[in-house]
Amino acid sequence: MQMTIKNSEMLMKLIQVLLFVALSESCIAQSGIHINQVGYYPEAAKYAVVSNPGEDIDFSLVNTETKQIVFSGKLSEPVLSKFSNTITRIADFSSLSKAGTYILVNGRGQSYPVNITPAAFSGLSKAAIKSYYYHRVSMPLKAPFAGLWSRPGGHPDDRVLIHPSAASDKRPAGTVVSSPGGWYDAGDYNKYIVNSGITMGTLLSAYEDFPAYYKKLHLNIPESGNDIPDILDEILYNLRWMLTMQDPADGGVYHKCTNAKFDGIVMPGVTKEPRYLVQKSTAATLDFAAVMAQASRVYAGFSKQLPGLADSCLKAARSAWGWAENNPAVLYRQDEMNKTFSPAITTGAYGDRELSDEWFWAAVELSVTTGNTRYLENENVKTEVTPNIPSWNKVDMMGYYTALKHRSAFAGSRLNTGRLLDTLITYSNRLLEGGNPAFRTVMGQSARDFIWGSNSVAMNQSMLLIHTFLLTREEKYLHAAASNLDYVLGRNATGYCFVTGSGTRSPMHIHHRPSAADGIGLPVPGYLAGGPNPGRQDKCEYPHTETETSYVDSYCSYASNEIAINWNAPLVYAIGALEDNHQP
Ligand code: G3I
Ligand code: 9MR
């Protein structure tokens, strides 16, 4: 008892000191209190993690305006993290539900501000989608929409060369074609169909799953107000580019539209290096078929505003499928290709070697959109599919999501959707049982979660769990999905909120050429940085090198601090789901 009084007196003193002394950023960072820095819905589970906490287990939340203590509690027993030498104790303040801004205080110091508000994610949701507008190729970003980050248009891509690897009778090497628009892939200035595949599938699913929410979401992009939801206008910008990547002669799809080498650290369009359409591949063609089939379904609802678009997409999807049937395993092997053709292409490879997942996804999307399950009869389509976390080279789950949303389309077909659902639920339950107790996250099932772009693993886990929630309406899956949002927004071993322009301590030096070259102090907002990656393939200096701490906020670090369209997409989906679920 005596101890408790003494501790709470000490805590009060500490609070007084902390609240009236302006703390430097480094001092706050040293406090080791890791917390979602963006926001909590009032009814949400709310945890903070105190790392290497010592014996002082008292904590309090103080209202930053009134300076009143509004909540006091005790930290949990210490836990050793599974992926570093960090020892943590958890502060659970879930029962604090009054809207306001607070600071969590403990003997270790104070946290960044904690915002409890029904609008917890409304700004982040917009920013995460708006990031795609900032990726737009070939058009200027004007100040009314781009604000501080307005810039001239880059890479017109209206005179792109057919690379020798892509030569055909009708389009011999050197043929000039037009492939403008679309989104830059990441921190580089190239455009890759495979990575557009999963990105577009994810964003289209966000709209398909939460149309009411997205119909109302205003993004302030040039097309806003045109009677099409803003998110669909943004997706359309990349969709139109994708359509240019199909060879009209045979339906095959070029793997990428690219420079031969990565551009230097310059603004878009400064370099005038030749751009190429490179080799057709089966992975690109099937991803394209899946996206076009899904897009056809989604844009069919806007035939008045976009006459003919849905039909064109379906036609493109069918002819891509036809090419794949005739070319079932044309892999993109960049190093091999460079032995035969020049110039050598050294930009991102997205070289997938296992295509059964692309076959499955494309077959499912085409079946749903056409109402004909004959696509499942193709010998390359396996209908016993093991679940996994989606990534650019693993798209089985994209097929799962669509098949389970449109179960009636598969009645009497080869695909047993009942079994798919059971498998998804079993897999989701395993995710709930695993994870990293030290941070109370689903993220951290095993060290394999911490790959290049690990934050997208966390977000794809969330997306998978949200699908399970939508199918079962069991809230535990939604809560688990939210735990990974807390993770990327700051409750992680690095203490960073990984979305640029959000939270208090977020990446300032992302591997993103415009952010590095524009002379503006703040990075372009709304981007999810790649995150911890002990592979450290960039060979940069990292302040910490454990599995979950291998992250450095420096331009050098493309292996931990780049940004990419496929990483933002599941962030968009996860926030959209929470926002949709939270609408009155
Ligand atoms: O597939 C193997 C797996 O079998 C093995 O167990 C594992 C062990 O590390 O590695 C797996 O391969 C990894 C591969 O991604 C698939 O996950 C490679 O190690 C890893 O280096 C590779 O990283 C990719 C990186 O490009 C380099 O190719 C990232 O996933 C991918 O997101 C990234 O994409 C780049 C583009 O090329 C260019 N534009 C920027 C973009 C983002 O950084
Ligand atoms: O900027 C490139 C980034 O987009 C890629 O993800 C990464 C891996 O392919 O490569 C980056 O470019 C680097 C190149 O590979 C090696 N020289 C330094 C480049 C970064 O400035």
Give the number of whichever ligand sits closest to the CA of residue 256: 1
Q: Is the CB–ligand 1 distance for residue 184 below 6 Å?
A: no
Task: Give the contacts of 522 (CB within 8 A, at least 6 positions apart).
Answer: 148, 500, 501, 508
Final residue in a domain of this structure, among 50, 85, 116 = 116
Contact yes or no for 78/103 (Cβ under 8 A): no
Give the CATH number for residue 250: 1.50.10.10
Which letter does DSSP use for residue 126 in this model? H
Ligand 1 atom 22: residue of nearest CA: 452
Beta bridge partners of 61: 71, 104
Looking at the structure, tell me whether residues 368 and 295 fall in a common domain.
yes
Residue 270 included in any domain: yes
pLDDT confidence of residue 108: 84
Looking at the structure, tell me whether residues 126 and 112 fall in a common domain.
no
Which letter does DSSP use for residue 408 in this model? G
Alpha carbon distance 35, 509 (integer Å): 21
| Closest ligand 2 atom to 187 CA | 4
- What the block records as the tokens of 475 is 């809230």
Q: Is the CB–ligand 1 distance for residue 453 below 6 Å?
A: yes
pLDDT confidence of residue 296: 98
Alpha carbon distance 71, 63 (integer Å): 9
Q: Is the CB–ligand 1 distance for residue 450 below 6 Å?
A: no
Final residue in a domain of this structure, among 116, 145, 174 = 116
Contact yes or no for 190/347 (Cβ under 8 A): yes
Nearest CA among 324, 256, 258 for reference residue 290: 324
- The string over 301-335, giving b where at least 16 C-beta atoms fall within 10 Å of a residue's C-beta and e elsewhere, is ebeeebeebbebbbebbbbbbebbeeeeebbbebe
pLDDT at 18 over 50: no
Looking at the structure, tell me whether residues 184 and 70 fall in a common domain.
no
Report the 10 Å Cβ neighbour count for 520: 12
H-assigned helices in 493-564: 513-517, 558-561
Residue 398 included in any domain: yes
Is the whole-model pTM more than 0.75?
Answer: yes
Cα-to-centroid distance, 352 and ligand 2 (Å)? 19
Contact yes or no for 457/443 (Cβ under 8 A): yes
- What the block records as the tokens of 243 is 């359509």
For the chain, give the mean pLDDT: 95
Looking at the structure, tell me whether residues 140 and 101 fall in a common domain.
no
Q: Give the catalytic positions in this structure.
A: 188, 511, 553, 562
Looking at the structure, tell me whether residues 111 and 148 fall in a common domain.
no
Q: Structural domain of residue 103, as residue ranges?
A: 8-116
Question: What is the average per-residue pLDDT within 351-368?
Answer: 98
pLDDT at 12 over 70: no
Contact yes or no for 137/268 (Cβ under 8 A): yes
pLDDT at 250 over 60: yes
Looking at the structure, tell me whether residues 397 and 378 fall in a common domain.
yes
Is the sign of the CA dihedral 529, 535, 541, 546 positive or negative? positive
Alpha carbon distance 290, 369 (integer Å): 10
Could you read off the pLDDT of 147-175 as tens digits, one per residue? 999 999 999 999 999 999 999 999 999 99
Looking at the structure, tell me whether residues 279 and 342 fall in a common domain.
yes
Looking at the structure, tell me whether residues 141 and 95 fall in a common domain.
no
pLDDT at 279 over 50: yes
Across 75-165, where does the E strand assignment appear? Answer: 79-80, 87-92, 100-106, 109-110, 114-116, 160-162
What percent of the chain clears pLDDT 90, i.e. is strictly above it?
92
Give the CATH number for residue 69: 2.60.40.10
Cα-to-centroid distance, 452 and ligand 1 (Å)? 6
Give the binding-site residues of ligand 2, using a 6 Å CB cut-off.
186-188, 262, 348, 558, 562
Report the 10 Å Cβ neighbour count for 580: 18
Domain total of the chain: 2
Looking at the structure, tell me whether residues 103 and 159 fall in a common domain.
no
Contact yes or no for 566/108 (Cβ under 8 A): no
Looking at the structure, tell me whether residues 68 and 166 fall in a common domain.
no
Final residue in a domain of this structure, among 57, 89, 116 = 116
pLDDT confidence of residue 5: 37
Ligand 2 atom 1: residue of nearest CA: 188
Residue 525 included in any domain: no
